[in-house]
Amino acid sequence: MECLTILPGHDKRGTVESFLPIHLKRGQLYTIVGNTGSGKSRLIKDVEQLAQGDSVTGRTILLDGAPVSRCHRQRLSGQLVAHLGQNMRFVLDTTVEDFLRLHARCRSREITPEEILKLVNEITPEPVTLGQSLNQLSGGQSRALMIGDIALICDSPIVLIDEIENAGIDKQRALHLLRRQDKLVLVVTHDPHTALMSEQRIVLGGGAITAVVGRSPAEAALYQQLEAEYQTQRRYQTLLRKGELLA
Amino acid sequence: MPNHIFLFSGASAVGKTSVLRSLLPLLKQSGAPPCVCKIDCLQSGDAAVFEELGLPCVTGLSGDICPDHFLVSNLPELWDWADGQRCDTLVIETAGLCHRCSPATIHMVAGCVLDCTASCKAPGQLGPMLTQADFVVLTKTDMVSQAELEIISWQIGELNPKAALFPVDGLAGYGIDRLAQWLLEQPANCSSGEDVLRHTMPSGVCSYCVGERRVGGAFQQGVVGKIDFGKEAPVWSA
């Protein structure tokens, strides 16, 4: 898999979308922006399910320029696409260790729960332990575990992320982990700093893709400014969490 | 006897009706409008949901009887009713009760509806409803992470490797299109007028089945099972 192509479907009222085919390449980060209810999650879902004109949006997703036959869709989707949704909780009633072992077994991966936790604990300030019950993890711990799981057990070439900013985890480290090894990453975001990390952003409105905006040179400069502000915010956040005075 | 009978069984509140609400319009569009039977124990307002879709619907309330036994006892009448409605497809939704048995017959396309957010031990507790199903619908997939969905799917595959698996989000309708397509591709299998249960039903005919309320050995007659307490068995007092 080198490239995904999104072909137009229709908006929430059935009006045909009027964009040219959007080509998404491996190794690139793309962001998806728009108001709540504008159809961002549905676009993510189309990509996840490798929609062939049969989803609620009517869009078609091509893999390396070719449609995907129905009998191969579920298997290909499972192999190629990892999805970090908006949920911040696990529901399975098992321990962190059993969860990681079971999932590695499902995916036929030779990796120990310890190796995964090492990485998970780099992005969450509250360490996760093997014996913890999965559904008693905090929002941030759950999110960090989901990210570690996607990075090390799924290891899929396409990674879909519905809002990385949630739960106070280290956004940049998390994105860095998920982008390793030449992946195609699509991130839904409301955050200008995250949006400007990508060279291209897909804009949604009323259920339709309304524009694909390229990052301008002025925006690239703005990104540097937002990055400095983000680092300042993080420093304040750390002080705040430690109970110290910010000024 | 209709050519296609699709059975949707599953515990209470797993999302059977939500699945059907998205599925039935797709079956209707395909040119083979189904009629629908809802089996419940005490009360059900779901007939209104199906009637809104413009489909013939009948509700069977089993009351004091096990809903699975009740469904099997009513199958011939349901076949005739579907024929009378000139429907070639009959969709049956049933909640079941103890999940020890399953009302699935050989001629049905039998499905089990499972809730992703239930315990990961839940599939192992379902018995023939799951192990003998032709298809399994996993609902509320939007509530769990992809990893959890993969683990649950894998566990179901271990219990029933032959069933087709359909992860869906019944509220938004994701995944229902695949299920509709698969159901429509199933060969006609029901025209002989004879049918057989896939699995025997529990042999529970005891005093309590016929209305006994008093607790104690003296009031227990018929088929009565007892817990095995192992070595430290309590002394039996009648």
**What is the per-residue pLDDT across B27-51, written as a single tens digit (0 to 9) for each?**
999 888 999 999 987 777 778 888 8
Apex CA A69: angle with CA A68 and CA A74, to 5°? 80
pTM of the model: 0.83
Helix (H/G/I), strand (E/B), else coil: A185: strand
In a domain, B195, yes or no: no
Given a contact cutoff of 8 angstroms between Cβ atoms, the answer to whether B163 and B114 are in contact is no
Alpha-carbon separation of residue B64 from B46, B97, B201 (angstroms)? 20, 11, 16
**CA nearest neighbour of B25 among B59, B49, B60:** B49
Residue A145: both structure tokens together: 């575990």
Mean pLDDT of chain A, nearest integer: 90
ipTM surpassing 0.90, yes or no?
Answer: no
Given a cut of 50, whether residue B55 has pLDDT beyond it is: yes
User: CB-based contact (8 Å) between A135 and chain B?
Assistant: no
Min Cα separation A26/chain B (Å) = 21
> Over the stretch B125-141, which tens digit does the pLDDT of each residue have?
788 889 999 999 999 98
- Chain A CB contacts of B145 under 8 Å are 84-85, 87, 90, 146, 149
Instruction: Confirm if B139 and B40 have CB atoms less than 8 A apart.
Output: no
Strand order in the sheet with B164-167: B57-61, B35-40, B89-94, B4-9, B109-115, B135-139, B164-167
| Mean pLDDT score, B99-107 | 84
Question: What is the per-residue pLDDT across A159-216, written as a single tens digit (0 to 9) for each?
Answer: 999 887 766 677 888 888 888 778 899 999 999 999 999 999 999 999 999 999 999 9
Q: Note whether A49 contacts B145, CB cutoff 8 Å.
A: no
Task: Tell whether the model's pLDDT for residue B216 goes beyond 50.
Answer: yes
- Which residue type does A199 have? E
Q: From residue A28, how far is each of A190, A218, B171 by CA, in Å?
A: 19, 20, 33
* Overall number of domains in chain B: 1
Residue closest to A51 by CA, chosen among A25, A81, A30, A31: A81
Radius of gyration of chain A (CA): 19
Q: Report if residue B222 sits inside a domain.
A: no
B120 closest CB neighbour out of A70, A92, A153? A92
Q: Kindly tell me if the per-residue pLDDT of A143 is higher than 50.
A: yes
How far apart are alpha carbons A194 and A99 in whole angstroms? 30
Residue B29, in any domain of the structure: yes
pLDDT, residue B235, reads: 59
Count of CB atoms within 10 A of residue A11's CB? 21
Looking at the complex, does the CB of residue A45 fall below 8 Å from at least one CB of chain B? yes
3-state secondary structure of A203: strand
Q: What is the average pLDDT value for chain B, to the nearest integer?
A: 86
Res B171: pLDDT: 73
The mean pLDDT of A113-124, rounded to a whole number, is 92
Whether B209 shows a pLDDT value over 90: the answer reads: no
Which pLDDT value is given to residue B238?
47
Q: Do B135 and B111 meet the contact criterion of CB atoms below 8 Å apart?
A: yes
Q: What is the mean pLDDT of residues B179-201?
A: 85
What CA dihedral angle connects B201, B207, B212 and B218, to 10 degrees? -150
Structure tokens at A54: 């049969």
- Is residue B220 situated within a structural domain? no
Mean pLDDT of the region B201-207 = 75
- Residue to test with chain B: of A81, A106, A160, most B Cβ within 10 A: A106
Whether the CB of A11 is below 8 Å from some CB of chain B: the reply is: no
- Distance between CA A20 and CA A172 in Å, rounded? 31
Averaged pLDDT for residues B172-193: 84
The answer to whether residue B162 scores a pLDDT higher than 70 is yes
Q: What angle do CA A58, B180, B93 make, to 5 degrees?
A: 135
B34 belongs to a structural domain: yes
A111/A120 Cα distance (integer angstroms): 14
Say if B120 falls within a structural domain: yes
Range of the domain at B13: 4-184
Task: Tell me whether residues A90 and B173 touch, CB distance under 8 A.
Answer: no
Q: Do B154 and A106 touch (CB under 8 A)?
A: yes
Burial (CB count <10 Å: 0-12, 13-18, 19+), residue A138? middle
Question: Pick from A55, A93, A149: which is nearest to B119 by CB?
Answer: A93
Give the separation between CA A7 and CA A58, rounded to whole angstroms.
9
In B, which residues are within 8 Å of A73 by CB distance? 178
Q: Is the pLDDT of residue B236 over 70?
A: no
Three-state SS letters, B104-144: CECCCEEEEEEECCCCCCHHHHCCHHHHCCCEEEEECHHHC
What residues of B are in contact with residue A79 (Cβ under 8 Å)? Answer: none
**CB B41 within 8 Å of CB B67:** yes
Of residues B118 and A240, more confidently modeled? A240
Q: Which CATH number fits the domain that encloses residue B123?
A: 3.40.50.300
Is residue A70 less than 8 Å (CB to CB) from chain B?
yes
Cα separation, B119 vs A144, in Å, equals 22
Region A229-234 average pLDDT = 91
Q: Which two tokens stand for residue B38?
A: 């809802």
Side by side, the strands of the sheet bearing A22-25 are A22-25, A3-7, A60-63
pLDDT digits (tens, 9 = 90+) for A94-110: 999 999 999 999 988 89
Q: Is the pLDDT of residue B179 over 90?
A: yes
Listed by number, the residues of chain B in 88-147 with a beta carbon closer than 8 Å to a beta carbon of chain A are 116-117, 119-121, 142-147
CA A177 to CA A148: how far, in whole Å? 8
Distance CA B95, CA B40 (A): 6
Would you say A11 and A208 are in contact if contact means Cβ atoms under 8 Å apart? yes
> Does residue B233 have a pLDDT over 60?
no
Q: Given CB atoms, is A183 within the 8 Å cutoff of chain B?
A: no
Distance CA(B74)–CA(B89), nearest Å, equals: 17
B119 phi-psi bin (left φ>0, alpha ψ -120 to 50, beta other): beta
